[in-house]
């Protein structure tokens, strides 16, 4: 150990042993002791200084009352005395002694007000009213004493002094104390419990101070009623200048907890917290601190910590803001998080968050560091739980969709909107201008092209015209018989494998055709089924084509697949997308005949449910598409991929309560059960 | 970390105290007679008045200091954020002794089953102490529906009162912390986490929570007791912790290390206030008691004056006995500083002060009759102690509790209550010194506000 280190060590030891610095408890005791000593000194000093003045003052008031009443045989005030002539004209000097004055009572009340109740400003009014009461009561006592001496006997006058006087003095001082306490307490509107201990303030349970009232339903009569005279409201509306009133309101807001927030659901709480923090940390500080103190939902706490972290530029308004920043620092440092991607700072909205394509897009964006606003018509859509922000919209074919969508996007202001439901294109296309207006960029396919893809009759016609191999297709009962079998009968507009019937016997064909609504009949193809995930640039160039074998599907979704490479498939896919005039993401389905011939069955003008395999194979179609949305003029690169990558899917779960609060995953390591 | 055992050198093991103190009573009388004979009535009574004045002023400033400290710091404490309550979860055994409690047992058990604590770290044991009503059957039905609730039936005549029941329950469990409730109690769900967080400090032997009256709506007396509890817990108990770190362990809504309580020989069956007794034994063994004003549970207040009298008499009798049992060990213990010893003695003396108040009133009456010296001073100090001190505590309790203004009129009810406390404490003092036999008297319940808040009581099974 060096000499410097030794000396430093010695100095530190000396310092810790020094008894001059008291413990926290001893310091508190000392502070309270000093306060009480000052109060006693104030009472004694005040009495010595003011007692003569107080006696004269009270005698003068009493003199005025006697004069006003017209009582005879009582002299005018002689300093601090009266001369009273009793029934037999015997004179007596009635002197106002120190113990007859209210000064000691007033000083005691003042001392209690200052050292005990000063946290409540209402104590000032309480003290003033209590003092007036004590003064009036003592004047009454003095007057009665003089009258008793005047009309009954001199002894009676004395009767009001001495120890009986002391008892009377004590009684009205006690009543004065009760008046002061009562006026310092909370009125029914602001109180949190009534005199029987029932909770009356409707505080959210998690946010309420513990033990402030037993929670039982209150009868209408017992609930706190609005005060008949609202002094504060009158003062602010009619008396105070508006500027001062507003200034006071702002100051009040800083220290007022808005308990309504605690009654909201978790997602809404997070949004409110962002809004409140967005106005500045010094504006709704008490409410933000209450969230940091009581909130248990990690989503809400994340939102608050992020909001606080985003406002580090802001000048510190008060000590509570420092407390908030310290909390946010600890919260963001709380546990070694998995090393995720660096945040891009972008917010991307994704529609169809409940579908497999939507979920794949959300996860892909999050993996790239984007924040996601998930949108879906189903409040239970799983993607709503995966994304940091979420909103439920009406279905695209329902009225109010456009309005709701615009409102949500205007609130969150995402940089881009990714649509994973092709049926929404029709509703979205007219909104692109307004979306641009609020800074939300989109890249939607040409409506006619999308329509061609969705309508299998138009699609067959287009492919036929372009010479792209497509199974023989009929859409009328007359021509259905001309299509060679075996057949597949499906709706002209449909998703997944809904209402698809496989027919082998010619006799069954008419029945199947009339069973399926809006049916078309196609020759069922032989060979191996594939799907190709594709991305077409705005100029029509094919940026990506990642074909995969559909080794196993469930409900129309690929659950097992393998990427492969085939120039014929790629060429046919490119020709198909050219034929329909598509741009943006698409998935193209078809068959490869054992002979090698490629036939295209349909095109979905959106991302596919098997998208994760394409991403795993190395083709970042999502990232490239988003880049193309954000910069329409960008020269997007062609994407390569790795053939032979296999995918086996399994179920995964998220858990949440009815009010959307997340529930811990029991299968995650480190989660206590 | 949480399983300390009492040191053998400690003075905390419970002891058998003398049956009576008649000799002490006689000594007091002889000293008074000698003083009267030697110095005359006026001088003797004058000296007595002076001594009383000093005592009254000491207690007045003690109460005032508690009020000042609570007014200054308690408001923020109630709202203060909890730290690390999810990560610190020592095993807990909740122990409840029940005797003829069928009116309240459903609400209590439902509240216990609703406590927020990891299920594998929590055991709930309810002791049916030879109940003669439907308590046992109700508990069995609850156990059938919720096996994690354990029920112990004690036979009639097992003895020991509440302490005996708790000791039997303690023998059944293997947890680090025992948390005690009474049968009429309904804790808030967070109470366990709030109580046990203080056991991170190995010096802490027990933690006291805050009891709140829930049936104030049933009678004016209950409403008055509700306000009394506010001041008792939010001001008095809070102040003892803030200024001296010496809060008292109460009989319910409190946690204690099981290793310690076993080392101390269990709860003391020879006292009727086993809580104050345990507080002293822990302090004498070098441990500390902590108080958590935010660990809240709701209980019933008594509804009739006679029950109120019996309850307060029991408290006074037991508390006064603790002073007689422990004042010497407290003065000798190396674990308390002189200031802490003074506060502990004042705390133990609390139930003697009403006796002295009665004496002060007698002196004033004698003075009014022309006997004795000037009593002006003690009128002021006595009124300060009797009214200004408690009313200041009550005022701070009402403000901290955010009770509506209407409650201020309930304070008038405290004036006869102070008078009654003079009578109960004086009777308890005389009975205690004379050695009148006294055993635990159970507090009767109303049950009107004990509807289960978490789950309905299970349907009684025939098999049960």
Chain A within 8 Å of B399 (Cβ-Cβ)?
yes
Distance between first and last Cα of chain B: 41
Could you read off the pLDDT of A62-88 as tens digits, one per residue? 999 999 988 888 888 888 888 888 888
Mean of pLDDT values over A101-122: 93
* Cβ pair A354, A381 in contact under 8 A: yes
| Residue of A116, A174, A186 lying closest to B405 (CB–CB) | A186
Chain A within 8 Å of B76 (Cβ-Cβ)?
no
Average pLDDT, chain B: 86
- Is the pLDDT reported for residue B2 higher than 50? no
Could you read off the pLDDT of B7-47 as tens digits, one per residue? 333 445 555 567 788 888 899 899 999 998 998 888 888 88
Domain contains B335: yes
Quote the number of domains for chain B.
Answer: 1
Chain B within 8 Å of A91 (Cβ-Cβ)?
no
Chain A within 8 Å of B225 (Cβ-Cβ)?
no
| CA A658 – CA A662 distance, rounded (Å) | 10
| CA A598 – CA B13 distance, rounded (Å) | 93
What is the pLDDT, as a whole number, of residue A297? Answer: 86
Kindly tell me the number of DSSP H helices and DSSP E strands found in chain A: 25, 16
Domain contains B15: no
Domain contains B17: no
Domain contains B70: yes
Containing A593, the helix (H) or strand (E) segment is none
Residue of B nearest to A113 (CA): B392
Domain contains B16: no
ipTM of the prediction: 0.89
Could you read off the pLDDT of B392-424 as tens digits, one per residue? 999 999 999 999 998 998 888 888 888 999 999
| CA B177 – CA B93 distance, rounded (Å) | 6
Taking contacts as CB-CB distances below 8 angstroms, the residues of chain B near A29 are: 65, 243-244, 339
Judge: A200–B404 Cβ closer than 8 Å, yes or no.
Answer: yes
- Is the pLDDT reported for residue B176 higher than 80? yes
Mean of pLDDT values over B65-84: 91
Judge: B68–A35 Cβ closer than 8 Å, yes or no.
Answer: yes
Judge: A117–B71 Cβ closer than 8 Å, yes or no.
Answer: yes
Judge: A178–B118 Cβ closer than 8 Å, yes or no.
Answer: no
Tokens of A618: 């190395």
* Cβ pair B265, B167 in contact under 8 A: no
Residue of B nearest to A115 (CA): B68
What is the pLDDT, as a whole number, of residue B297? Answer: 93
Q: State the residue range of the domain holding B263.
A: 1-10+22-464
Domain contains B260: yes
Domain contains B318: yes
pLDDT band at B456 (very low <50, low <70, confident <90, very high): very low
* Cβ pair A109, A176 in contact under 8 A: yes
Exposure of B342 in the CB half-sphere (CA atoms within 13 A): 9
Domain contains B280: yes
Could you read off the pLDDT of A389-413 as tens digits, one per residue? 899 999 988 888 988 999 899 888 8
What is the pLDDT, as a whole number, of residue A106? Answer: 95
* Cβ pair A577, A588 in contact under 8 A: yes
pLDDT band at A19 (very low <50, low <70, confident <90, very high): low
- Is the pLDDT reported for residue A669 higher than 60? no
Which stretch of A523-532, B14-23, B362-371 has the lowest confidence by average pLDDT?
Answer: B14-23
The CA–CA distances, whole Å, from A666 to A139, A653, B99, B443 equal 76, 10, 41, 45
Residue of A nearest to B381 (CA): A170
Side-by-side strand order, sheet with A557-563:
A598-604, A584-592, A528-536, A542-554, A557-563, A646-648
Of A521, A351, A323, whose CA–CA distance to A422 is shortest? A351
Chain B within 8 Å of A182 (Cβ-Cβ)?
yes
Q: Where do we find the tokens 């002023």?
A: B57
A346 phi and psi angles, rounded to 5 deg: -95, 145
CATH number at residue B132: 3.90.550.10
Side-by-side strand order, sheet with B92-98:
B149-154, B122-129, B92-98, B177-182, B254-257, B204-213, B288-299, B186-187
Average pLDDT, chain A: 87
% of chain A beyond a pLDDT of 90: 39
pLDDT band at A657 (very low <50, low <70, confident <90, very high): confident
Residue of A nearest to B75 (CA): A209
A34-63 burial code (b ≥16 CB/10 A, e <16): ebbeebeeebeebbeeebeebbebbbebbb
Judge: B190–A120 Cβ closer than 8 Å, yes or no.
Answer: no
């Amino acid at each position: 150990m060096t000499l410097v280190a030794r000396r430093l060590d010695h100095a530190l030891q000396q310092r810790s042993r020094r008894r001059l610095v008291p413990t926290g408890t001893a310091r508190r005791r000392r502070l309270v002791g000093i306060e009480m000593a000052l109060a006693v000194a104030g009472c004694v000093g005040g009495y010595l200084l003011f007692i003569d003045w107080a006696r004269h003052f009270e005698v003068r008031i009493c003199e005025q009352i006697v004069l006003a009443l017209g009582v005879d045989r009582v002299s005018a005030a002689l300093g601090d005395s009266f001369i009273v002539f009793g029934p037999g004209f015997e004179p007596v000097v009635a002197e106002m002694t120190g113990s007859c004055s209210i000064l000691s009572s007033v000083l005691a009340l003042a001392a209690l007000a200052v050292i005990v109740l000063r946290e409540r400003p209402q104590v000032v009014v309480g003290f003033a009213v209590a003092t007036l009461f004590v003064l009036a009561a003592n004047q009454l006592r003095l007057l009665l004493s003089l009258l008793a001496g005047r009309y009954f006997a001199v002894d009676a006058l004395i009767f009001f002094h001495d120890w009986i006087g002391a008892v009377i003095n004590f009684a009205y001082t006690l009543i004065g104390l009760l008046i002061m306490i009562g006026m310092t307490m909370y009125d029914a509107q602001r109180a949190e419990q009534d005199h029987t201990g029932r909770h009356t303030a409707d505080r959210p349970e998690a946010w309420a101070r513990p033990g402030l009232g037993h929670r039982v339903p209150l009868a209408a009569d017992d609930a706190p009623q609005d005060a008949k005279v609202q002094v504060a409201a009158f003062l602010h509306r009619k008396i105070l200048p508006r500027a001062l009133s507003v200034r006071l309101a702002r100051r009040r807001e800083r220290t007022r907890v808005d308990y309504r927030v605690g009654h909201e659901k978790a997602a809404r709480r997070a949004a409110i917290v962002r809004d409140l923090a967005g106005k500045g940390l010094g504006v709704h500080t008490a409410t933000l601190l209450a969230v940091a103190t009581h909130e248990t939902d990690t989503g809400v706490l994340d939102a608050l910590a992020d909001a606080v972290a985003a406002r580090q530029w802001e000048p510190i308004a008060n000590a509570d803001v420092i407390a908030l920043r310290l909390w946010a620092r600890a919260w963001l440092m709380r546990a070694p998080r998995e090393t995720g991607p660096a945040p891009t700072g972008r917010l991307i909205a994704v529609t169809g968050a409940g579908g497999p394509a939507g979920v794949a897009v959300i996860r892909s964006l999050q993996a790239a560091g984007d924040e996601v606003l998930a949108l879906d018509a189903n409040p239970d859509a799983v993607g709503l739980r995966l994304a940091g922000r979420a909103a439920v919209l009406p279905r695209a074919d329902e009225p109010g969709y456009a309005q709701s969508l615009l409102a949500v996007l205007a609130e969150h202001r995402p940089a881009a909107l990714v649509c994973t439901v092709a049926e929404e294109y029709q509703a979205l296309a007219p909104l692109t201008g307004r979306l641009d207006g609020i800074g939300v960029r989109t890249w939607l396919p040409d409506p006619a092209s999308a329509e061609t893809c969705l309508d299998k009759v138009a699609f067959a016609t287009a492919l036929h015209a372009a010479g792209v191999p497509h199974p023989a297709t009929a859409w009328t009962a007359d021509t259905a018989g001309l299509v060679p079998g075996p057949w597949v009968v499906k709706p002209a507009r449909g998703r997944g494998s809904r209402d698809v019937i496989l027919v082998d016997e010619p006799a069954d064909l008419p029945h199947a055709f009339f069973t399926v609504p809006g049916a078309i009949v196609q020759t069922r193809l032989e060979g191996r089924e594939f799907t190709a995930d594709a991305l077409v640039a705005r100029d029509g160039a094919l940026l990506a084509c990642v074909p995969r074998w559909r080794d196993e599907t469930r409900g129309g979704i690929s659950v097992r697949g393998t990427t492969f490479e085939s120039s014929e498939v790629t060429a046919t896919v490119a020709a198909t997308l050219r034929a329909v005039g598509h741009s943006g993401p698409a998935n193209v389905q078809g068959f490869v005949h054992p002979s090698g011939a490629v036939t295209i069955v349909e095109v979905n003008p959106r991302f596919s449910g098997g998208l994760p395999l394409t991403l795993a194979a190395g083709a970042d179609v999502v990232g490239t598409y988003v880049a193309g949305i954000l910069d329409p003029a960008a020269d997007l690169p062609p994407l390569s991929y790795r053939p032979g990558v296999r995918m086996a899917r399994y179920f995964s779960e998220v858990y949440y309560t009815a009010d959307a609060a997340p529930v811990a995953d029991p299968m995650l390591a480190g989660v206590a059960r | 970390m949480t399983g300390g055992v009492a040191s053998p050198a400690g003075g905390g093991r419970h002891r058998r105290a003398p049956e009576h103190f008649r000799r002490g009573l006689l000594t007091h009388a002889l000293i008074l007679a000698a003083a009267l004979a030697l110095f005359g009535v006026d001088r003797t009574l004058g000296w007595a008045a002076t001594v009383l004045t000093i005592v009254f002023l000491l207690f007045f400033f003690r109460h005032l200091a508690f009020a000042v400290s609570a007014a200054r710091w308690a408001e923020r404490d109630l709202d203060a954020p909890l730290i690390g309550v999810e990560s610190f979860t020592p095993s807990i055994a909740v122990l409840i002794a029940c005797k003829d409690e069928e009116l309240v047992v459903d609400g209590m058990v439902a509240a216990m089953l609703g406590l927020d604590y990891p299920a594998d770290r929590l055991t709930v044991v309810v002791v049916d102490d030879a109940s003669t009503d439907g308590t046992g059957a109700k508990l069995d039905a609850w156990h059938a529906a919720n096996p994690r609730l354990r029920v112990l039936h004690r036979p009639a005549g097992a003895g020991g009162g509440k302490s005996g029941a708790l000791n039997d329950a303690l023998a059944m469990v293997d947890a680090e912390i025992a948390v005690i409730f009474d049968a009429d109690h309904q804790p808030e769900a967070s109470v366990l986490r709030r109580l046990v967080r203080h056991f991170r400090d190995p010096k802490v032997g027990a933690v006291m929570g805050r009891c709140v009256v829930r049936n104030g709506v049933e009678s004016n007396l209950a409403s008055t007791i509700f306000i009394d509890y506010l001041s008792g817990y939010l001001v008095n108990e809070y102040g003892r912790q803030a200024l001296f770190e010496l809060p008292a362990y109460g009989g319910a809504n409190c946690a204690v290390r099981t290793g310690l309580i076993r080392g101390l020989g269990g709860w003391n069956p020879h006292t009727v206030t086993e809580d104050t007794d345990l507080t002293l034994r822990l302090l004498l063994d070098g441990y500390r008691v902590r108080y958590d004003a935010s660990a809240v549970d709701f209980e019933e207040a008594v509804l009739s004056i006679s029950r109120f009298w019996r309850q307060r008499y029991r408290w006074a009798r037991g508390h006064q006995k603790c002073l007689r049992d422990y004042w010497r060990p407290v003065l000798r213990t190396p674990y308390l500083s002189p200031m802490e010893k003074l506060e502990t003695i004042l705390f133990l003396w609390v139930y003697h002060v009403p006796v002295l108040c009665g004496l002060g009133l007698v002196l004033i009456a004698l003075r009014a009759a022309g006997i004795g010296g000037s009593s002006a001073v003690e009128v002021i100090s006595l009124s300060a102690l009797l009214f200004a001190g408690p009313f200041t505590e009550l005022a701070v309790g009402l403000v901290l509790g955010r009770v509506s203004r209407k409650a201020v009129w309930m304070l008038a009810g405290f004036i006869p209550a102070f008078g009654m406390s003079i009578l109960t404490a004086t009777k308890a003092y005389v009975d205690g010194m004379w050695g009148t036999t006294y055993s635990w008297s159970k507090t009767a319940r109303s049950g009107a506000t004990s509807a289960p808040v978490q789950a309905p009581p299970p349907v009684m099974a025939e098999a049960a």
